[in-house]
């Protein structure tokens, strides 16, 4: 099974960007104080921060994984 091919890396990058974007949008209620319930704002902000961290961590893992020689060789064949 080839883990580091064009399709899986593309899906991972899209998922990373989507997780980070969702995390940023979950921060908006806490920043603007849209709800009277502070507990809900804290929960949304926490989930948003976790999502942002996961998105960045996944992006760094993808970048690190693409440095391996076999993965780099397979990814050179991709059309950008």
Residue 78 lies in a domain: no
- Which of the pair, 34 or 31, is modelled with greater confidence? 31
Residue with tokens 């995390």: 23
Residue 53 lies in a domain: yes
- Which of the pair, 48 or 74, is modelled with greater confidence? 48
pLDDT value at residue 29? 81
Residue 1 lies in a domain: no
75 touches 63 (CB < 8 A): no
Give 80's pLDDT tier (boundaries 50, 70, 90). low
Residue 76 lies in a domain: no
* Res 1 pLDDT > 50: no
CA atoms within 13 A on the CB side of 41: 11
| Total tally of structural domains belonging to the chain | 1
Domain of residue 64 covers 6-70
């Amino acid at each position: 099974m080839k883990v580091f091919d064009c399709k899986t890396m593309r899906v991972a990058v899209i998922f990373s960007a989507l997780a980070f974007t969702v995390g940023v949008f979950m921060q908006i209620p806490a920043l603007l104080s849209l709800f009277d319930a502070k507990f809900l704002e804290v929960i949304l902000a926490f989930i948003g921060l976790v999502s942002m961290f996961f998105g960045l961590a996944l992006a760094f893992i993808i970048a690190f994984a693409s440095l391996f020689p076999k993965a780099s060789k397979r990814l050179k064949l991709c059309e950008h």
